[in-house]
Amino acid sequence: MGNNINTQPMPGFMELLPNQQIAFNKMLDKINEVYKLYGFRPIETPILERAEVLLTKSGGETEKQIYQFQKGDNNIAMRFDLTVPLARYVAQYQNDLVFPFKIGNIGKVYRGEKPQAGRFREFYQCDADIIGRDELDISFDAEIISLMYTILTGLGFDKFKIKINNRKVMSGFFQSLDMDSPADILRILDKLDRLKREDIVFELKELKIDDEKIDKIFEFIETKDDIIEKLKEFDIQNEIYWQGVEELEYVDNRVKDLSIDEENYEIDLGLSRGLDYYTGTVYETFLTDYPEFGSIYSGGRYDNLSSYYTDNRFPGVGCSIGLTRLFDCLLKENQIDTTQQTSTNVLIVGMEGFDTYALELGNRLRGFGINTEVLFQLKGSFKYADRLNIPYVVVIGEDEIESSKYTLKEMASGEQVMLEQEELIAKLRGNI
C-alpha cells in the first residue's frame, strides 16, 4: 500500500529519466575519453572523509555547507569538492605516484546549501589536474587550455570563450601602486560580471584605495588587443609583475601553437577567480549564447596542493567543470538531445512457441556486438519499440522458421525486408 511518502528526490538533487541520463552519460563518457587522449590517469577518492581532513582549509561559508555527522567515534563529512581529497591522496601516496601526476577525477560532491534555482546539493565535478613534485613546468598551464578546448568541442560546443589571466601580473601591478592586499582586490574584481561598476568602486574604496588608483585599476583591467605588448610597455618596477608577464606570454604563445580559434580564447585582465589558492594562470570559460550560466569551466595554477598534509611541495594546475549544473542549464534551454531512449538497436519478438528461436537469434546478434532485446509476446511489442525509438524489429513465428527468412522492419520508415540470418546480421552490423 502506498504510504503517502514523498517519492520525489530532495530539492537540489538532480534525477533524470533514462533518455536524459543517456545524454548525461554521453557527456561523462566524452570527458573521460579526452582525459585518456591526454594521458590523465583516473583516481577515485571516497565520498566520505574524516571531518578533520575536509575542514582544514575551508572554514567560513564552506564549512557551514558541509554535510557532517557522527557515527560511532568518528566525525565524518561528505566531500564538498574533489581538490581537498586529491590533496590528501597525493600526500598519502606521494612515494607511489609518478610525477608529473596527471589526474582525471570525476565524482559527486555535496554542499548542504539552501536550495535555490541552479544550485545543487549533489553534483558531478569533472576535474583534471597536473601535479608536480617540487616544481611544475609552465607548459602544463597551456596543456590545461588545450584539454579544456578539446573537451568543450568534444561536448559539441563551438560558441565559447576560454579566458585566461595571471595572478602574478595582477598582484605585481597592485603592489607597484603600493596596494598591499592584492587578494582582497582580486576578490572584489571577481564580481565584475555580477555587480555594477559603482558597486565595485565602492568596495575598492572601502579598502582605502583612492580614486586615482581605482581609475588606474580599471584602465589596466580593461586593456584590450595586443595585451602582452601593452603589458610590456607599462613602466612597472615589480619582479612579480614581470614574472607574471613572462608566464602569460609563454602560455599565450603555446595556445597559438595549438591553433585554437581566436573566437574561443582570449586574455582578459579583468579575470580574477575569487579563490585564494590560485597563484599564477587562472581560467574561466563562458558560453557566448548563455553568459548567464557564468563560467562553466574554470581553474588555475596553485603553488602547493597538499601543504596541510605534508611538508613536501606539490605545485599544480587544473580545471573543473560542474557538469550537473551545466547539464541542467542546457536541458532547460532545450540544448540537450534526448531522443535516444535506449541503446537497443533491434527488438526480436518471438511468437508463442518460438521462444527458443528468438533467444538463439538474440544471443547470436549480441555475439556480433549488436545491441538486442528479446520479447516473447507480440502484443505491445511494436508500441514498446516505438516508444523507445528502437530502429528495427524482427518478428519470429512459424513462417520465419519454415522459410529461414526473417522480416526486418525499419520502424522510422515502416519498410520491411525479408533477409536470411547472415544478411540480417550484416545489415544490423552496418547500423551499430
Residue 119 contacts a copy of itself per CB under 8 A: no
Which residue in the set 118, 274, 343, 426 belongs to the binding site for a copy of itself (CB under 8 A)? Answer: 343
338-342, long-range: CB < 8 A, 24+ apart: 338/19, 338/20, 338/22, 338/23, 339/19, 339/389, 340/19, 340/22, 340/23, 340/389, 341/18, 341/19, 341/22, 341/387, 341/388, 341/389, 342/18, 342/22, 342/373, 342/388, 342/389, 342/390
Residue 291 contacts a copy of itself per CB under 8 A: no
CB of 205 to a copy of itself, least distance (A): 37
Q: Give the DSSP letter of residue 40.
A: P
**Closer residue to a copy of itself in complex, CB, 298/345:** 345
CB of 176 to a copy of itself, least distance (A): 30
CB of 88 to a copy of itself, least distance (A): 5
Which of these segments, 70-78, 163-171, 241-249, 268-276, binds a copy of itself (CB under 8 A)? 70-78
Residue 75 contacts a copy of itself per CB under 8 A: no
Nearest CA-CA partner of 167 in 314, 317, 13, 336: 317
The footprint of a copy of itself on this chain (CB under 8 A) covers a number of residues equal to 98
The CA-to-CA distance between both ends of the chain, in Å, stands at: 43
Q: What share of the chain is helix, strand, coil (3-state, %, to 5)?
A: 40, 20, 40
Which of these segments, 83-91, 176-184, 278-286, 391-399, binds a copy of itself (CB under 8 A)? 83-91
Q: Which of residues 120-139 bind a copy of itself (CB under 8 A)?
A: 121-122, 137, 139
**Closer residue to a copy of itself in complex, CB, 26/213:** 26
Q: Which of residues 379-418 bind a copy of itself (CB under 8 A)?
A: 384, 387-388, 390
- Which residue(s) pair with 44 in the sheet? none
**Closer residue to a copy of itself in complex, CB, 292/355:** 355
- Please report which helix (H) or strand (E) contains residue 240, including its range: helix 239-257
408 grid coordinates: 526486418
Q: Give the DSSP letter of residue 291.
A: G
Residue 67 contacts a copy of itself per CB under 8 A: yes
Residue 421 contacts a copy of itself per CB under 8 A: no
Q: Which of residues 199-258 bind a copy of itself (CB under 8 A)?
A: 253-254, 257-258
CB of 11 to a copy of itself, least distance (A): 9
CB of 219 to a copy of itself, least distance (A): 33
Whole-angstrom distance, CA of residue 146 vs CA of residue 258: 7
Whole-angstrom distance, CA of residue 331 vs CA of residue 24: 10
Residue 355 contacts a copy of itself per CB under 8 A: yes
Which residue in the set 83, 84, 89, 406 belongs to the binding site for a copy of itself (CB under 8 A)? Answer: 89
Residue 153 contacts a copy of itself per CB under 8 A: no
Phi, psi of 70 (to 5 degrees): -100, 135
The three-state secondary structure class of 317 is strand
The three-state secondary structure class of 183 is helix
Residue 339 contacts a copy of itself per CB under 8 A: no
CB of 193 to a copy of itself, least distance (A): 30
CB of 399 to a copy of itself, least distance (A): 20
Q: Which of residues 298-327 bind a copy of itself (CB under 8 A)?
A: 307-311
**Closer residue to a copy of itself in complex, CB, 132/270:** 132
Q: Give the DSSP letter of residue 97.
A: S
- Which residue(s) pair with 46 in the sheet? none
